[in-house]
Structure 1
């Protein structure tokens, strides 16, 4: 009898450890333009993150576009502002494609809120990322102003083109 209980417990643990979130047809349709449905094997998840914590779609709804002209931007704390030495040609106001490049690698704020979602700087020369809960695998962090966002408690979103640190 003890052996049966141990085998059942072992089988249950093995099934849970190697399970994968299986997307349904509605989620697949909804995420078809957002990099597909987010999925990961349970044993590969970071500590404190479960399959039920994964966001539905891989990509951020805004991709790599922050819409800085409409954004709520956090001020730099004293001593945190980027030096002129770190600025490059994409930091200079220009028109057309150069202006979009300047928006992509923006160095004038440590974090902000753009069209309802939080982002933060995460590298040199204006690199940035959208922020997400649950070690970057959870839902994208929503906001009304930069006060709803931050740099230290939120992780860069993981997955797809819009995940991670870049310009």
Structure 2
């Protein structure tokens, strides 16, 4: 009986390690989201796999300090992903990529800007990583 329990634990551990190595391979430079200490309001089953935004590997999304401010619209769709203006004042031009699940879920996708015009407080938020330092494209800035 003890051998059976030991084997079951070993198989489960191998599965977890395999999932993590798959995520590392899939995410690469985007990093893998850590889900062990999530805030209570975040659904652990709906956390995205990769930390950074897919466009973080392109010139479209540079680290926060280098982002251009957006003054033309309050929301939009760029290369298939939603963004919204945010920040301390409505006219600051600061913006963020949006994500479901309080900002920790999948990045919100779109075909046009009007699909990005919704109430973020009930659907999602600015892209967020519990360890924000790991996500160069998360947060609100320009």
Same fold (TM over 0.5): yes
1:128-167 mapped onto 2 (5 Å cutoff)? 128-150=95-117, 152-153=119-120, 154-159=124-129, 160-167=135-142
**Structure 1 residues without counterparts, runs of 5 or longer:** 1-20, 67-100
Q: Which residue of 2 aligns with 1:89?
A: none
Q: Structure 2: how far apart are the matches of 1:161 and 1:151?
A: 25
The number of residue pairs the alignment matches comes to: 109
Q: With CA pairs under 8 Å and 6+ residues apart, which has the higher RCO, 1 or 2?
A: 2
CA contact (8 A) 1:121 1:151 kept: no
Match of 1:24 in 2: 20
Note the alpha carbon deviations across 1:25-82, whole angstroms, 9 max, x for none: 1210111211x1111225x3242x222111010000112826xxxxxxxxxxxxxxxx
User: Given that residues 110 and 151 in structure 1 are in contact (C-alpha distance below 8 angstroms), is that contact kept between their aligned partners in structure 2?
Assistant: no
C-alpha distance in structure 2 between counterparts of 1:165 and 1:65, whole Å: 15
TM-score scaled to structure 1, two decimals? 0.58
Q: Tell me the equivalent position of 1:87.
A: none
Please identify runs of 4+ aligned residues in structure 1 that moved more than 3 A.
none
Aligned partners of 1:120 and 1:151 also within 8 Å = no
